[in-house]
Every structure is written in structure tokens, then in C-alpha cells.
């Protein structure tokens, strides 16, 4: 028998109560029943985002929300500053270029977290928007998001702070309003334990004001229209109804565990996985590891692409590898969303046994012992 295990930092595994909710009959999205569902979700999402403002529920992937955040708020000729420390930072730059905006790109070496010094050096002129990731998932790096938000708010009080929390919201506590974040984005297929298809974006009063003078082209991803709709417990167009119904089940699970416990579990899984992989003799690829995934260099001489294919074929574990310059060189072991310590123990065992077969010497029992002791199982 072969069983499949998903260990990618998106899409992430979907728990049974959520799967069951996904199979419920479709209701019409203009019905009072659906309005009630949206009404309930509005207050639940505000709790997760720690905001008094609305959190839009969009039917698109996370990138759609990144694009909409820019196209809905900015004007032709506006300047944006973007932290580019990997694939997803680069995506903000690409979106800014697609809309022909002036761009200050703060390029950071892969695996490093940006510093305020680098930001200061990279900004030429006051930006209309500052965009960055909390977790740069392509390298598994956590940026010092609180420090960045504080700095931007102080230095550029009118600047829109557009934050990609796609692999952060729901996995760590982020005080949207306190930090002065204008738009905090996330996606369903990450900590929210749902299939892909929904994105979320909180909208501050400052962002709403900016929307009034926005001149960039937009139609489907028009946050002003979506904001008006959600105030009436609606979405502008036909949403992914099943995903929205299942979002209730996912949030119920998160609330039953308790959000603080969800965050603590992510922190413990991240720290224990990090230590276990170091005990395996692997080298960390980032000095600021995120709670979403643990990124490690593979030993010299091991082809990551072949190794990961073999782990999937032999043991059924789908573990993420590196992208672009890191392709074949790193692994990104996910602990984002529906994972327990025992899931990670299985994945670490599979990785360890596969590496042993490739002739990489270490002891599986040392790896597991380190994990168990660090997690305090």
C-alpha cells in the first residue's frame, strides 16, 4: 500500500473536518444563508488579523491579492519600494513593473533577512507603497517584520504598507493594526489548511483613502468594490463557495486549538525540525528561519531533485526543494498548517533513510532523539 504525505509550504494538508465541509451542497452566494456565513467569517478573520478593519475574501491565489493590493491603491507614476530576498519578493517587483510603476528594489542575498540599513540604502525617494514578505517562503526566511513596519510608519507616515503574510498569517501572531499594516495578505492553502483558491487581504482606512485616487487599470481585482461588497456580507462576483464554507470549519479547528496554541505549535515544530536537521549534519540555508518551513543545504554530491523524487517514490513523502539558484541544492521541509510532531518525525525518518541510501553517513536515531527532546514530547 502506498500512502501520500504532503510536506510542502503550500499547498498544505487538508484535515478531515475541512474535507467534509468541502463536500457540502452548494448554496447560492446571494442567499441570506450565505450572507450569514460571510458575516460570521468577517468577525473571525478580524480576530486572526488582529484588526478592526475588514478582511477581504477573494477568489484567487495569493498572487492575485498581491496584484490587487497594488492595482487597487496606486496611481500611474507612483513609486514603490520592494524587498526582494527571493522568488516572492521578486514577484512584487514584477507586479510593480507590469503596472509601469517607479521601483526601488532592495535586493537581499537569498537566505538572508533584510536589515533596516539595507532598506535605508535602497530607497531613493519617498515611496507611495512599501512591499515585503513576512516569510520569504522560497528561502524559508523570516524578515524582521515588526522592526520594518515601525521604521516605515515613522519615516514615511503616508506610505502604504503592503505586507505579504501568505505563509505567516495563521501560523504566527501578527498585530496588523498595532503595526500599522495597511494591507496584510494571506492565502487559503497555507496555515488555513484549505485547498488553494482563496486569498485574504485586510484593508486599512489609509488604503481605502488611496483607492479613491487610484488610476491603475483594474477590473476583477478591485479592492474598493470588494470592500463595499463585504460590508454587505457579500462578494463582488461568484466566489469559491465551497472553499468559503470550508473556511468556517478550518477556523473552528484553529479556535478549538486556540490561536496562541496554534502559533506555539508552529514555533516548536520549526525549532525542533531545525535542530533535528542540524543533528543530521545538514547546514542551515538561512539564519532567520521562518515558522513555515525549514530550509537546509543538502550534503555535497547529493542531487536534491533526484533525492526528493526518490523519497516520494519510495516512501510517499512530497518534500519541497529549492527554486532557481537553489534548485537541487536545498530542501524546504514544511511544518505550516495541519502538522503535529509525529508528522515531522515521519518526514525526518524518510529523509534520513533516503540520505543513508545515498551514502550520506549519519544516525537516524540521533536525528529523531534531537527532535523529540527539543519538542519535549
Ligand X SMILES: Cc1ncc(COP(=O)(O)O)c(C=O)c1O
Total number of residues shown for the chain? 377
74 is an interface residue for ligand X by CB under 6 A: no
Q: What is the DSSP letter of 161?
A: E
Distance CA 44, CA 30 (A): 21
Q: C-beta of 189: minimal distance to ligand X in Å?
A: 6
84 is an interface residue for ligand X by CB under 6 A: no
Q: C-beta of 240: minimal distance to ligand X in Å?
A: 13
10 is an interface residue for ligand X by CB under 6 A: yes
Task: Measure the CA angle with vertex 66, ends 65 and 69; round to 5°.
Answer: 80
Q: Which residue number, 166 or 279, has a Cβ lying nearer to ligand X?
A: 166
Distance CA 255, CA 234 (A): 24
What is the separation of C-alpha 319 from the centre of its chain, rounded to a whole number of angstroms?
Answer: 17
Which residue has 519600494 as its cell numbers? 81
Q: C-beta of 293: minimal distance to ligand X in Å?
A: 9
Task: Report the residue number whose CB is nearest to ligand X.
Answer: 62
187 is an interface residue for ligand X by CB under 6 A: yes
167 is an interface residue for ligand X by CB under 6 A: yes
Cβ-based neighbours of 337, under 8 Å, separated by 6 or more: 12, 13, 170, 171, 190, 191, 192, 193
Taken in order 204, 197, 255, 133, the sign of the CA dihedral is negative
Tell me if residue 72 falls in helix, strand or coil. coil
Q: Are 316 and 343 in contact (CB under 8 A)?
A: no
200 is an interface residue for ligand X by CB under 6 A: no
Q: Report 35-64 residues binding ligand X (CB under 6 A).
A: 61-63
Q: Which residue number, 291 or 341, has a Cβ lying nearer to ligand X?
A: 291
137 is an interface residue for ligand X by CB under 6 A: yes
Q: C-beta of 186: minimal distance to ligand X in Å?
A: 9
132 is an interface residue for ligand X by CB under 6 A: no
Distance CA 367, CA 339 (A): 18
Q: Which residue number, 196 or 281, has a Cβ lying nearer to ligand X?
A: 196
Q: C-beta of 197: minimal distance to ligand X in Å?
A: 9
Size of the site for ligand X (CB under 6 A): 12
Q: Are 272 and 344 in contact (CB under 8 A)?
A: yes
304 is an interface residue for ligand X by CB under 6 A: no
Q: C-beta of 243: minimal distance to ligand X in Å?
A: 13
What is the separation of C-alpha 243 from the centre of its chain, rounded to a whole number of angstroms?
Answer: 18
Element holding 244 (H helix, E strand): helix 241-257
Q: Which residue number, 54 or 136, has a Cβ lying nearer to ligand X?
A: 136
Taken in order 297, 3, 342, 259, the sign of the CA dihedral is positive
Q: C-beta of 136: minimal distance to ligand X in Å?
A: 6
| Residue in 133, 139, 204, 294 binding ligand X, rule: CB under 6 A | 133
Binding site for ligand X (CB under 6 A): 10, 61-63, 88, 133, 135, 137, 164, 166-167, 187
Amino acid at each position: 500500500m502506498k500512502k501520500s504525505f504532503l510536506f510542502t509550504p503550500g499547498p498544505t494538508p487538508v484535515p478531515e473536518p475541512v474535507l467534509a465541509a468541502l463536500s457540502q451542497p452548494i448554496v447560492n452566494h446571494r442567499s441570506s444563508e450565505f450572507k450569514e456565513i460571510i458575516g460570521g467569517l468577517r468577525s473571525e478573520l478580524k480576530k486572526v488579523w488582529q484588526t478592526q478593519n475588514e478582511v477581504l475574501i477573494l477568489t484567487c491565489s495569493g498572487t492575485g491579492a498581491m496584484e490587487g493590493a497594488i492595482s487597487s491603491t496606486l496611481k500611474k507614476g507612483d513609486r514603490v519600494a520592494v524587498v526582494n530576498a527571493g522568488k516572492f519578493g521578486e514577484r512584487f517587483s514584477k507586479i510593480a513593473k507590469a503596472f509601469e510603476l517607479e521601483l526601488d528594489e532592495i535586493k537581499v542575498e537569498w537566505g538572508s533577512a533584510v536589515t533596516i540599513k539595507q532598506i535605508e540604502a535602497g530607497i531613493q525617494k519617498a515611496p507611495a507603497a512599501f512591499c515585503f514578505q513576512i516569510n520569504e517562503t522560497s528561502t524559508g526566511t523570516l524578515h524582521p517584520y515588526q522592526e520594518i513596519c515601525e521604521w516605515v510608519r515613522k519615516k514615511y507616515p503616508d506610505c502604504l504598507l503592503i505586507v505579504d503574510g501568505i505563509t505567516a498569517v495563521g501560523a504566527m501572531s501578527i498585530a496588523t493594526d498595532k503595526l500599522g499594516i495597511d494591507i496584510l495578505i494571506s492565502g487559503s492553502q497555507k496555515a488555513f489548511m484549505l485547498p488553494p483558491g482563496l486569498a485574504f487581504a485586510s484593508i486599512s482606512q489609509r488604503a481605502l483613502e488611496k483607492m479613491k485616487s487610484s488610476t491603475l487599470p483594474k477590473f476583477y481585482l478591485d479592492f474598493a468594490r470588494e470592500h463595499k461588497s463585504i460590508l454587505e456580507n457579500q462578494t463582488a462576483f461568484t466566489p469559491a463557495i465551497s472553499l468559503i464554507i470550508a473556511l468556517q470549519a478550518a477556523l473552528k479547528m484553529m479556535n478549538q486549538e486556540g490561536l496562541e496554541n496554534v502559533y506555539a505549535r508552529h514555533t516548536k515544530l520549526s525549532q525542533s525540525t531545525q535542530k533535528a536537521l542540524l543533528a543530521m549534519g545538514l547546514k542551515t540555508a538561512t539564519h532567520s528561519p521562518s515558522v513555515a518551513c525549514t530550509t537546509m543545504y543538502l550534503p555535497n554530491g547529493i542531487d536534491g531533485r533526484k533525492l526528493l523524487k526518490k523519497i516520494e517514490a519510495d516512501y510517499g513523502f512530497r518534500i519541497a526543494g529549492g527554486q532557481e539558484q537553489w534548485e537541487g541544492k536545498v530542501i524546504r521541509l514544511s511544518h505550516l498548517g495541519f502538522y503535529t510532531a509525529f508528522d515531522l518525525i515521519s518526514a525526518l525518518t524518510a529523509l534520513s533513510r533516503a540520505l543513508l541510501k545515498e551514502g550520506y553517513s549519519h544516525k537516524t536515531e540521533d536525528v529523531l532523539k534531537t527532535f523529540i527532546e527539543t519538542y519535549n514530547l
